[in-house]
């Protein structure tokens, strides 16, 4: 795996982390969860910016948000006990299929 894709995966995982952190801020009423969340956001954007040096914008952004969406949905299901319906799981699988498709059809830019 090339470094831009590694950066993109890290950025996506950090997006999951800051989304979970955002829930923990309780509407920005808790200081330390808020500080940690902002730091995670900055780190996620930093790694996304590194990936964008050579990956196509549309592909990188879609995959970044896809990793964030799938990861956050799974954390919601497994950690926060959100509904685990068939429809939700099918939609998660469709997002993953889209991420894989974008990865397979994208080449780094020169």
Q: pLDDT digit string (tens) for 101-110?
A: 988 887 666 5
Whether the CA torsion 29, 32, 35, 40 is positive or negative: it is negative
Question: How far is 92 from 74, CA to CA, in rounded Å?
Answer: 9
Report the number of distinct structural domains present in the chain.
Answer: 1
Query: Would residue 13 count as lying in a domain?
Result: yes
Q: pLDDT digit string (tens) for 34-77?
A: 999 999 999 999 999 999 999 999 999 999 999 999 999 999 99
Is the pLDDT at 78 greater than 70, yes or no?
yes
**Which helix (DSSP H) or strand (DSSP E) does residue 109 occupy?**
none
Query: Would residue 110 count as lying in a domain?
Result: no
Domain with 13 in it: 3-104
Q: What is the pLDDT of residue 60?
A: 94
Query: Would residue 90 count as lying in a domain?
Result: yes
Query: Would residue 11 count as lying in a domain?
Result: yes
Whole-prediction pTM value? 0.89
Query: Would residue 42 count as lying in a domain?
Result: yes
């Amino acid at each position: 795996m090339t470094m831009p894709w590694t950066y993109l995966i890290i950025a996506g995982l950090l997006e999951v982390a800051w989304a979970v952190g955002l829930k923990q801020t309780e509407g920005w009423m808790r200081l330390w969860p808020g500080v940690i969340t902002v730091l995670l956001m900055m780190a996620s954007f930093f790694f996304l910016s590194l990936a964008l040096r050579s990956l196509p914008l549309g592909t990188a952004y879609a995959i970044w948000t896809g990793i964030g969406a799938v990861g956050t949905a799974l954390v919601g299901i497994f950690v926060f006990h959100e509904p685990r319906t068939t429809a939700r799981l099918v939609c998660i699988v469709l997002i993953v299929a889209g991420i894989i498709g974008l990865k397979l059809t994208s080449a780094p830019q020169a």
